[in-house]
Amino acid sequence: MASGSSPTEKNLRSESFTDGRGEVDNVSETGCLSIVVLGASGDLAKKKTFPALYNLYRQGFLQSNEVHIFGYARTKISDDELRDRIRGYLSKGNDSEDVSNFLQLIKYVSGSYDGEEGFRLLDKNISEHEVSRNSQDGTSRRLFYLALPPSVYPSVSKMIRKFCMNNCSIQDAASNTQLIRNIPLGHDVVDIAFNKHARESQVLQSVMSIEDEEVVLGQYEGYTDDSTVSDHSNTPTFATVVLRIHNERWEGVPFILKAGKALNSRKAEIRVQFKEVPGDIFRCKKQGRNEFVIRLQPLEAMYMKLTVKQPGLEMSTIQSELDLSYGQRYQGVAIPEAYERLILDTYAAWEIFTPLLHKIDRGELKPLPYKPGSRGPVEADELLAKAGYVQTHGYIWIPPTL
């Protein structure tokens, strides 16, 4: 389960363009790579996208002789002005040379998100870079990152498809062009228009349709007090969903997804809970189920929470853990954020949630109120219990001190 509002892989989506003739080939490992950040002058690009690219560059995943980065937005600024805007989000104090070298990879193009002129100019700049690298036809790759509001996804994807893939054959363009976009919680309004121009891989065909009774939506009290939010908004700020996988391996095992804003903790984790064994040889009060926890952020860790016999002659048990805390075990090693992983992998899958999101849009599912700083609606805990998850009370994982 994951909770909190921190960005993770599931908040992002990666697409492959297709020509409508079915599957596309794998991306060639030769030729140069052009990374285009659309919305380059916005906060998301400055605080997340460019720092993620910089970290990949520092770790050697983006070679300066193979990659070039293009920023695109409506703001009319120069290359150096964009570099100055993002410089402060990259520097850690002792890496000024790395920052300067990385910034020199960035070129800026200004244009609208629905106009032909800007995207023709963008394509011209990318093509000139590819020619300067002596790239063979069909080997150059283009990755477009949409750090933009969802409302402009359809027009931007249309412009990319029409004007920024013209110097390749249809099949090469489909194989060598990738597009990444952010998906806000609870809204997928642009999928139909977007998917006219981009194809989304499917890694989830065995997931059964989501039943309404296995969904709990919430909206924290005070959400509609914001002047930018409608008094009658049906937008969820919390969701707990139970997924069922219909295959031999996972039949009967519930997959519980939980996420929300204004909760009592800010974290992203995967928690595997084990059922109790028959009988209780220790004849003691049940202390909770054993669990394997993969904590993604903050304080990255993997630990096994388990019940063990307390040392001594008495037949009593306590809860303990086998703990691999990354900050303690791997000191000085940078842990990549979700944005870095996604850009490196350019992969994600979301289609299973589309019917549920459409029900929310139609008002068929209503969010339940919950107090800020709580665990969310009480109905969510009831859904977890119904799915077979047993909440442990009184146990708190304490990360080791460095």
Domain boundary among 140, 166, 194: 194
pLDDT tier at 137, thresholds 50, 70, 90 = low
- One domain for residues 160 and 40: yes
pLDDT tier at 124, thresholds 50, 70, 90 = very high
Which residues are paired to 256 by β-bridges? Answer: 242
- Where is pLDDT greater, at 27 or 384? 384
pLDDT the model gives residue 285: 60
pLDDT the model gives residue 136: 63
pLDDT the model gives residue 347: 39
- One domain for residues 150 and 82: yes
- One domain for residues 185 and 223: no
Domain that holds residue 177: 18-194
Per DSSP, helices labelled H in 206-332 are 326-329
**Residue 198: pLDDT over 60:** no
Read off the pLDDT of residues 55-99 as tens digits, 9 standing for 90 and up: 888 888 887 777 899 999 999 999 999 999 999 898 765 568 889
pLDDT tier at 300, thresholds 50, 70, 90 = confident
- One domain for residues 135 and 176: yes
- One domain for residues 179 and 254: no
Which residues are paired to 68 by β-bridges? Answer: 34
**Residue 114: pLDDT over 80:** yes
Indicate which CATH number applies to the domain containing 27: 3.40.50.720
Count structural domains, the chain: 2
- One domain for residues 34 and 173: yes
Stated pTM of the model: 0.53
pLDDT the model gives residue 183: 53
What would the mean pLDDT of 209-236 be, rounded to a whole number?
A: 90
For residue 207, being part of any structural domain is answered with no
Q: Which of 79-83, 261-265, 310-314 has the lowest mean pLDDT?
A: 310-314
- One domain for residues 129 and 221: no
**Residue 3: pLDDT over 60:** no
DSSP reduced 3-state for 323:
strand
For residue 364, being part of any structural domain is answered with yes
Is the omega angle on the peptide bond into residue 298 within 30 degrees of 0, that is, cis?
yes
For residue 201, being part of any structural domain is answered with no
